[in-house]
Amino acid sequence: MVLVGPSGTGKTTWAHEHFTASEIVSSDALRALVGIDEADLMASAAAFDLLHRIVSERLRRGLTTVIDTTGLDKEDRLRWVESAREVELPVYAVLFTAGYDEVAPRHAGKPRPIPQATLRKQFSRMSQAVVEIPNEGFDEVHTEQPVRVVATKVVPPSAPTEPQRRHSFGLIISRFNWEEDDLGGQLAQIARRAEEAGFSDLWLMDHFRQIPVVGRNWEDIPEAYTALAHIGASTERIRLGTLVTGVTHRSPVVLGKMVATLDVLTGGRAICGLGAAWDQAEHKAYGIPFPPLTERYALLEDTLQMLPLLWGKGSSSFEGATFSASELICYPRPIQDPIPILVGGGGEKRTLHLVAEYADACNVMGSPEEVRHKVEVLERHCADVRRDPAEILVTNLHHTLVARDRPAMHDRIHQLRSRNQSVEQYAVRHNAGTVEDLVDVFSAYSEAGARHTIVSLPDVALEGSIETFGDVIAAFE
């Protein structure tokens, strides 16, 4: 961000109101470092040489950089635009448009005021800069105003600024690298906090070792259904499920019995999350067969057909393409009739067709635009099987870090990031945003047709994380 305006127009004050000190590169501050003080004009050449070197290094590392000079030199502005382009960073100009009659009295009261002739010359150059800057290659040109800086993915283009319709939220816990050794106590505490904050459901991954995109494979990860039963005993309202269980992980009948038992023990709060499975390395490590994708889809469809029979009355038999059962007996029967089934994945030909035919919900990933497309595909599959698409809840998975304001976000990121990772890099990786940012994001998902979001919070075990997201939830109620 290149600040442009004569001396005394409020650039430095504005910068410190909206950015941290480490993000601001100031010619005055550098003049004081290499000279007598900020007013030492003899140190200007050395100060600007240092400023250009600092700006270049910060841009190379992808760091947010606010250049606090008068910004009236066209050659400097073009240099900064080109430097940003070389590292594929957006670059903005912010114009400070206070008039001469407003600014001149501010200088008059200073111990070492800028000469009036110099100030008038700056205002003359400002008039010229206002004409030139729109054609200098900046992504956007703004006048002085409050600003929010967020990762590109956080606020979709043209996102509504107010919650457009009701949107509900679930919480997934996928990593357990917590400082405390009491895994059971931590899980129960997180679940109770989530329930209190307004989350309607809580999910665990059904894997036997940690998956690569989340952590290292030797990190702690509890068996999902055992852990869900423990959580169920510690909560009262929140619904519980896996996102998702690969149908190759267990016998489908055994899986159905486990989900039914979870439903009974939690007073009717189980959700059955299913998928075709994907982690071939995990299957190989544990000696679990991993058939080709076509066979896994056939197994998924058989499971979707079988589970309502298992959870129903009597002892039906089942004959599928991949397995059969002579007596599907399941007592005690689940409290819900039937237990809702969610299918994970957004495969347009097979997965969403299975959702349309058998499931109560689906979970898809991507931007609001990508989700909108998936919803349209699902609606076509529903038409093919003559089912009302309104019967199916479309959910999306979203990894995010939330804070009430930007200073709080900086503090939390500094607490979480590794030493060789910048604030910007962490913010982008974890889609960091304020409550206001995320209300915009989830309003856009609602408009796209996803009425429920399952969020992963990287700081889920830390005080304030779940509670702050509760403010997002409250905005939609």
Are 371 and 398 a contacting pair, CB within 8 Å?
A: no
Are 256 and 323 a contacting pair, CB within 8 Å?
A: no
| pLDDT tens-place string over residues 436-474 | 899 989 999 999 999 999 999 999 999 999 999 999 999
Q: What is residue 406's predicted lDDT score, i.e. its pLDDT?
A: 83
- Rounded-to-integer distance, Cα 376 and Cα 359, Å: 17
- Rounded-to-integer distance, Cα 412 and Cα 398, Å: 19
- Lowest mean pLDDT segment, chosen from 78-82, 118-122, 424-428, 451-455: 424-428
- Rounded-to-integer distance, Cα 202 and Cα 454, Å: 8
Quick one: what percent of the chain has pLDDT higher than 70? 97
Q: What is residue 214's predicted lDDT score, i.e. its pLDDT?
A: 93
Confidence label for 112 from pLDDT (cuts 50, 70 and 90): confident
Confidence label for 155 from pLDDT (cuts 50, 70 and 90): low
**Residue 246, token pair as written in the block:** 């690969």
Beta strands in 213-358 (DSSP E): 239-242, 245-246, 270-275, 316-319, 324-328, 341-344
Confidence label for 292 from pLDDT (cuts 50, 70 and 90): very high
Q: What is residue 180's predicted lDDT score, i.e. its pLDDT?
A: 75
- Rounded-to-integer distance, Cα 113 and Cα 111, Å: 6
- Lowest mean pLDDT segment, chosen from 106-120, 270-284, 407-421: 106-120
Confidence label for 106 from pLDDT (cuts 50, 70 and 90): confident
**Residue 353, token pair as written in the block:** 């067709």
Is pLDDT of 163 > 60? no
Radius of gyration of the chain measured on its C-alpha atoms = 29
| pLDDT tens-place string over residues 72-85 | 999 999 999 999 99
Give start and end residues of each alpha helix (H) in 211-279: 224-234, 252-265
Quick one: what percent of the chain has pLDDT higher than 90? 81
| pLDDT tens-place string over residues 317-364 | 999 999 999 999 999 999 999 999 999 999 999 999 999 999 999 999
Query: CB within 8 A of 75, min separation 6: which ones?
Result: none
- Lowest mean pLDDT segment, chosen from 51-55, 107-111, 147-151, 180-184: 107-111
Confidence label for 115 from pLDDT (cuts 50, 70 and 90): confident
- Rounded-to-integer distance, Cα 422 and Cα 184, Å: 33
- Rounded-to-integer distance, Cα 114 and Cα 58, Å: 31
Q: What is residue 425's predicted lDDT score, i.e. its pLDDT?
A: 85
Question: Looking at the chain, how many residues does it have?
Answer: 477
Q: What is residue 297's predicted lDDT score, i.e. its pLDDT?
A: 98
Which residue segments constitute the domains of the chain, with CATH numbers given? 2-143 (3.40.50.300), 168-475 (3.20.20.30)
Q: Between residues 436 and 255, which one has the greater pLDDT? A: 255
- Rounded-to-integer distance, Cα 290 and Cα 274, Å: 16
- Rounded-to-integer distance, Cα 469 and Cα 196, Å: 11
Q: What's the whole-number average pLDDT of the chain?
A: 93
Q: What is residue 335's predicted lDDT score, i.e. its pLDDT?
A: 98
Is pLDDT of 164 > 70? no
DSSP 344: E
Are 129 and 4 a contacting pair, CB within 8 Å?
A: yes
Confidence label for 158 from pLDDT (cuts 50, 70 and 90): low
**Residue 62, token pair as written in the block:** 């992808």
Confidence label for 165 from pLDDT (cuts 50, 70 and 90): low
Looking up tokens 């949107």 gives 167
Amino acid at 328: L
Bridge partners (DSSP) listed for residue 362: 343, 394
Amino acid at 130: V
Chain-centroid distance, C-alpha 451: 16
Looking up tokens 């599907």 gives 328
**Residue 140, token pair as written in the block:** 């956007």
Q: What is residue 161's predicted lDDT score, i.e. its pLDDT?
A: 53
Looking up tokens 């499971």 gives 303
Peptide bond into 25 cis (omega under 30): no
Phi and psi, residue 89, nearest 5°: -105, 145
DSSP 346: -
- Rounded-to-integer distance, Cα 393 and Cα 41, Å: 66
